[in-house]
Amino acid sequence: MIVDDSAVIRGFLSRWLEAEKEIEVVAIASNGVMALREFERARPELVILDIEMPEMDGLTALPRLVKLDPDVQIIMASTLTRRNADVSLKALSMGAADYIAKPESTRVVDEKEIFQRGLVEKIKALGATRRTRDRAAGKVAARPALKPVQTERKPRVVIGAKAPIVLRPFKTIPSPKVIAIGASTGGPQALFKLFEALKGKTTLPVFITQHMPGTFTAILAEHLNKIYDKDCMEAKDGEKVLDNRVYVAPGDWHMTVVNEGAVPVIRLNQEPPENYCRPSVDPMLRSLQAVFGAHVLTVILTGMGHDGLDGCRKLAESGAVVIGQDEETSVVWGMPGAVASAGLCNKVLPLQDITGAIENVIMGRPA
């Protein structure tokens, strides 16, 4: 279901999505009041929900939609402003699954194509997650939100691979000098819970790459700063790596660490996106492995795609500890699923158990 007060946006979203053989638009609404009425009639599995609308805005409609169907997947859509970034992060804590920043203009080809590709990928990933959980719970969907497709194309990314997970055994447990965290879809919610539990547990520097545009990463750092007991900030090019700091990769910049003399220093760059992402988790992990070797404790949280797989492979080869979030507590089990399925994880754990595993590794115990 598409919910947006702009007829233009409703129109091009509907055309884009109906052009996808696997997606069906079952309802369209121009505000929250209409959305609630249409939701009860159409029972969509996923909703694209605008934030700013007359009569009833998206933030007001969100909990009411979730009350009607606790399993509904909701993507918040907003223009890229500081206020909307803040509202979008608040919406994630209220039950939204993800967010997407609207392009400033649909006439700019690159912006439009990036937005369209990102939205379609999010819908397919969240739709697959919803239906997997429905099947596991013995639920039968009212209609196929993802239409059957007659095609021989193989999916580019496997979401929630079902092959048995083989854990990489602990040989020795290197004392970590830094913690690295990679996340995408569902990441902000997971980060808030993780850092709330991590308070007082470590003084190690923490590096976070979360797939987000620039305005959003600044707000994310501010939210983490309110939750955690250490300084959380967007990373700045050239700053020294210090204990008791959390560094968030700024939107549209890869965050890496290099040794300058004997001092680890943060370097930001705008080299091409990796895995369609900038910031990307892989450049961060590769750089940390080059500087700290096996002394990097890595956590891969919920997210679609496979960003982080290459970096985790290099870290695993060096003997570093890698922890992945499990499928049940992930919004989308793409990134952690890719790393786990490749046999790179020492542990695959529910989100609520990851803090304890981090503490164990820091203390030299198996996670």
pLDDT at residue 115 greater than cutoff 90: no
Q: At a CB cut-off of 8 Å and minimum separation 6, what does 301 contact?
A: 181, 182, 183, 186, 187, 190, 191, 194, 325, 330, 335, 336, 351
For the cut 80, the answer to whether the pLDDT of residue 146 exceeds it is: no
- Catalytic annotation present for 98: no
The pLDDT, as a whole number, for residue 155 is 32
- Write down the catalytic residue from 4, 78, 211, 341: 211
The CATH number of 178-362 is which of 3.50.50.60, 1.10.3720.10, 3.40.50.180, 3.40.50.300?
A: 3.40.50.180
238-275 tens-digit pLDDT: 999 999 999 999 999 999 999 999 899 999 999 999 99
**One-character DSSP codes across 250-275:** PTTSEEEEEEETTEEEEEEE-PPPBT
Q: Which listed residue (4, 282, 307, 326) is catalytic?
A: 307
Average of per-residue pLDDT values in the chain: 90
Q: Tell me the backbone φ, ψ of residue 83, rounded to 5 degrees.
A: -65, -45
Q: How far is CA 339 from the centre of its chain?
A: 15
Nearest residue to 279 (alpha-carbon basis) of 154, 158, 181, 146 = 181
Instruction: Judge if pTM exceeds 0.85.
Output: yes
- pLDDT band with cut points at 50, 70 and 90 for residue 7: very high
Are 291 and 257 in contact by the 8 Å Cβ rule? The answer is: yes
Per mean pLDDT, which range of 128-132, 147-151, 203-207, 284-288 is the poorest?
Answer: 147-151
pLDDT at residue 205 in the model: 98
Contacts of 101 (CB under 8 A, 6+ apart): 77, 78, 79, 80, 115, 213, 215, 216
pLDDT at position 161, please?
46
Distance between CA atoms of 155 and 269, rounded to whole angstroms? 30
Asked if 196 contacts 354 with a C-beta cutoff of 8 angstroms, the reply is no
Could you give the C-alpha distances from 86 to 70, 119, 216, 252, in angstroms and in order? Answer: 23, 20, 7, 18
Q: What is the pLDDT of residue 104?
A: 66
Q: Which of the pair, 107 or 81, is modelled with greater confidence?
A: 81
Whether 178-362 and 2-136 are alike in CATH topology: the answer is yes
Residue 327 confidence (pLDDT) above 50: yes
Rounded percentage of the chain residues whose pLDDT exceeds 90? 75
pLDDT for 109:
54
Report pLDDT for 141: 52
- Give the active site residue among 88, 184, 280, 287: 184
Q: Where are the domains of the chain?
A: 2-136, 178-362
The pLDDT value recorded for residue 150 is 37
pLDDT of 30 > 70? The answer is yes
**CATH among 3.40.50.2300, 3.40.50.720, 3.30.750.24, 3.30.420.40 for 2-136:** 3.40.50.2300
108 pLDDT exceeds 80?
no
What pLDDT score does 116 carry? 87
Q: Confidence band (pLDDT; 50, 70, 90) for 34?
A: very high
Known catalytic residue at 184: yes
pLDDT (average), residues 220-229: 94
User: CA quadruple 283, 286, 288, 290: dihedral positive or negative?
Assistant: negative
What confidence category does residue 106 fall into, taking pLDDT thresholds of 50, 70 and 90? Answer: low
Residue for token pair 């990102």 = 118
DSSP reduced 3-state for 278: coil
Is 211 one of the annotated active-site residues of the chain? yes
